[in-house]
Amino acid sequence: MTSKFGSEPFMFNKDLGRPVKATDQHFTLSDADGSPVIPLTQEQKYIFDTKGWLLIPGVLSSDQLDSMQEFITQLHTSPESMPDYKRSPLGGSTQSLSDHPIALGFLNEFVYLPYTDGRGRPLANQDCYGYRLEMSAYRYRIKGQGSFGPHNGNGQMRFPGDHHRYHCLPGKANAGLVRAIWELMPVNEGDGGTIFISGSHKSAFTAPESAYDPNSLLWETYTCPAGSVLFFSEAVTHSAVTWNAAHPRIAVLNSYNSIGGRWHNWEPHPRLVAEMPPLRQTLFRSVHVSENLVG
């Protein structure tokens, strides 16, 4: 039986060139609250692979948005009102975004690879995710905040230790270090959402001088209702720009990596992790591959 996550690309395991045979049991199929993972559609996979970023609009309900907007606003304006260990996007209602079913569908496809640790067991199961959440932050920008600072690109030409990479073969792609931005307020045309040079994660050439002009036609962006999620590979050229809307930009930024890789110097508070459901805790296990499996 093949898996709903991706086709059947030929990937070597660590046993003299035998191929990986991925089935659903190689993937975590539900989140920490028991909701089923939502796989990406073929169109969504194609868009992300082609552009290096993918927007999925209108994911969160109005009740979820009300709670999350309130929490991030409190975290930003009066953090002293919260216990120290909860002063993080993981410390309130936005914690559930860390393993939201749509995020897991994306991560199963573009971050997790169904290899074994060399001892015959896949690196994910129904008690353990196959990737790590290596940083969680938020943005609360008012009009005039934020600035243009383009970075990254050329990810297909980078070695694995760089993390800002993108590798692919027919039927499978691995996006390296990725980010999910949950937009908790609307982003309208001209507001100042994240901008991208689409396809630059695979570029073989140095960017032209026009890439340093935020008004260049090289740059693309998005509009979306509140409660949308934006996924992108850190290998794609991207930047913030100045926020222009009257309402604040309220967003949660979660970065993910393979269980054997780490870029950010960040750790959640141990007490906060200890209070999470067991499956969610596996997003924060130590950085290594061999025997790094729960369950």
Helix-then-strand count for the chain, H and E = 5, 9
Distance CA 38, CA 53 (A): 18
Residue 191 has pLDDT above 90, yes or no: yes
Residue 265 has pLDDT above 90, yes or no: yes
Per-residue pLDDT tens over the stretch 34-74: 999 999 999 999 999 999 999 999 999 999 999 999 999 99
The pLDDT of residue 1: 36
Per-residue pLDDT tens over the stretch 121-142: 788 999 999 999 999 999 999 9
Give the residue, 3 or 265, on which the prediction is more confident: 265
Using DSSP's 3-state secondary structure scheme, residue 187 falls into strand
- CA angle 36-28-194, nearest 5°? 75
Compute the mean pLDDT over every residue in the chain, rounded to the nearest whole number.
93
E strands, 53-131, are 53-56
Q: What is the mean pLDDT of residues 74-90?
A: 98
The pLDDT of residue 4: 61
- Pick the closest to residue 207 from 151, 166, 168, 147 (CA basis): 151
Fold (CATH) for 26-257+268-284: Jelly Rolls (2.60.120)
The pLDDT of residue 6: 53
Q: What is the mean pLDDT of residues 221-234?
A: 98
Query: Averaging pLDDT over each range in 107-116, 155-164, 192-201, which range is the top one?
Result: 192-201
> How is 241-275 classified by DSSP, letter by letter?
-----SSPEEEEEEEEE-TT---------HHHHHT
